[in-house]
Amino acid sequence: MTHGNAPIEQTASRHGTWRSRGTFILAATGSAVGLGNIWRFPYVTGEYGGSAFIVVYLVSVLLLGLPVMMAEVALGREGRHSPLITMQKLIERTRSHRIWLLIGWSSLLSGFLIASYYEVIAGWTLRYALDYSGQAIGLLPGTTDVQQVWSAFLSSPGQLILFQTLFVVITMAVIARGLKRGLEKATTLMMPVLFLMLLALLVYSLLEGDPAASLSYMFKPDWSALGVNGVLAAMGQAFFTLSLGMGAIMVYGAYLPEGVKVPSTVGVIALLDTLVAIIAGIALFSIIFAHPELQPESGPGLLFITLSSAFEVMPGGVLIGMLFFFLVGVAALTSLLSIVEPTVAWVVEKYNASRLRVSITVGVVVWLLGLGTVFSFNLGEDVLIFFGQTFFGFLDYLTNNILLPAGGLLIALFAGWIMPREVIARQLSLEGRAFLTWQILARWIAPAGILAVLVYTWFSAG
């Protein structure tokens, strides 16, 4: 391996590098594929009437998602540190304004905030997976009233905290083991399992559900149901599902070996992520439409109430329910890893601290913050009100509608305007027309799209 005299400052981060392009793809796809694909995507698709939403979402992935994702990987690999320190280094090198440090700081803030509610919801999937397992081996009785089980679960802080705790402990145990023995091992092990489970679910849904109704719901555009809100929600979804705007992909990029070509690699990740969302959508709606009494527009309860009711009455439903909720749990785990890694990496770098201790500390802080989300479904439902929303609603809004788009905007602008052209061109191994295309997207198109989301959010909130 030669690095010639290219101005590469550092070729590896202190945390190590991925073994290969393949393990990076698995880890980054693990980050991308999560609750956003299997829980959020189907229910927002349902809320905005199906196919038209999906069209805008796909266009947003191409025009906003891909260029920003390339920018994150390029910046991360150039800086070879956690997002905040990477930004400090790049700002020094380009002698640019310290305002760009916001990218780094918001990465830490978003990391804590997103992790704090993500682990709680991930805990729900764990609870359902274990519950179905109990039923499958005959340890637990079947559910008669799905709605009642769900409400009872949500109104019990003790239960929510139990599963939240389990989830944080598992996540931090992986993170504490470091890049190679933790992140890489866990994702290379879990991602194939995830794809297999998804495939099994798809086959089952085609055999036992109503695939024709599902396909027409998802792919026959009904533009009337969309509206401005739908368009903006689709852009936001594209961002969230690709893990963009908070440095998660940036830190994974910092661990990417030299020589791996970024554009095609990022393309594979976005493609896999989109495929998972579409397949999960087809499977879920196929199952739901097989039961005329169930509605696809039921919001966040779609998995836990609507889908669960279907599993109750379907042949082999208990086993499929178990498989399904394990699938969502695994997807959530590999995502949560990437939400806390930028923060853990930063503390390790900044204070030269041991990964184990940092993981424990970050885990405790995330857990404590998570209590806010836990209580927003029960004790604090009417007390913990922020800007007219529950604590969870507020966090979800703040991160998805403000912090992530703002982070993505700054990342696109910094990579597109501030970084020297040669550096980004070398990082992306693009030249000529291809580079120009990326540049136009990063300088103009993505910022314009993101700004539209931010401005609209601002005015509709006021």
- Candidates 34, 253, 321, 408; binder of ligand TRP (CB under 6 A) is 34
Instruction: Assess 323 for contact with ligand TRP (CB under 6 A).
Output: no
Cβ atoms 326, 132 nearer than 8 A:
no
Binding mask 96-135 for ligand TRP (x = CB under 6 A): ------------------x---------------------
Instruction: Assess 36 for contact with ligand TRP (CB under 6 A).
Output: yes
DSSP per-residue codes, 196-235 = HHHHHHHHHHHHHS-HHHHHHHHHS--GGGTHHHHHHHHH
Instruction: Assess 343 for contact with ligand TRP (CB under 6 A).
Output: no
Show contacts with ligand TRP in window 2-31 (CB under 6 A): 31
Instruction: Assess 404 for contact with ligand TRP (CB under 6 A).
Output: yes
Residue nearest ligand TRP, Cβ-based: 36
- Candidates 37, 286, 427, 457; binder of ligand TRP (CB under 6 A) is 37
Count of residues engaged in binding ligand TRP, rule: CB under 6 A: 17
Q: Which two tokens stand for residue 101?
A: 């440090």
Instruction: Find where tokens 């609870």 sit.
Output: 127
Half-sphere exposure of 219 (CA within 13 A, CB side): 11
CB of 6 to ligand TRP, least distance (A): 30
CB of 258 to ligand TRP, least distance (A): 24
Which DSSP category does 9 fall into? S
Q: Which two tokens stand for residue 415?
A: 């990579």
Instruction: Assess 329 for contact with ligand TRP (CB under 6 A).
Output: no
CB of 248 to ligand TRP, least distance (A): 4
Rg of the chain, C-alpha, whole Å: 21
Greatest Cα-to-Cα distance within the chain, rounded to the nearest angstrom: 69
Cβ atoms 340, 366 nearer than 8 A:
yes
The enclosing H or E element of 58 equals helix 51-60
CB of 174 to ligand TRP, least distance (A): 14
d(CA 241, CA 227): 21
Provide the terminal-to-terminal Cα distance of the chain, rounded to the nearest Å: 56
- Candidates 241, 308, 343, 376; binder of ligand TRP (CB under 6 A) is 241
Instruction: Assess 238 for contact with ligand TRP (CB under 6 A).
Output: no
Q: Helix or strand or coil: residue 13? A: strand
Q: Helix or strand or coil: residue 386? A: strand
- Contact residues toward ligand TRP (CB under 6 A) are 31-32, 34-37, 114, 240-241, 243, 245-246, 248, 335, 338-339, 404
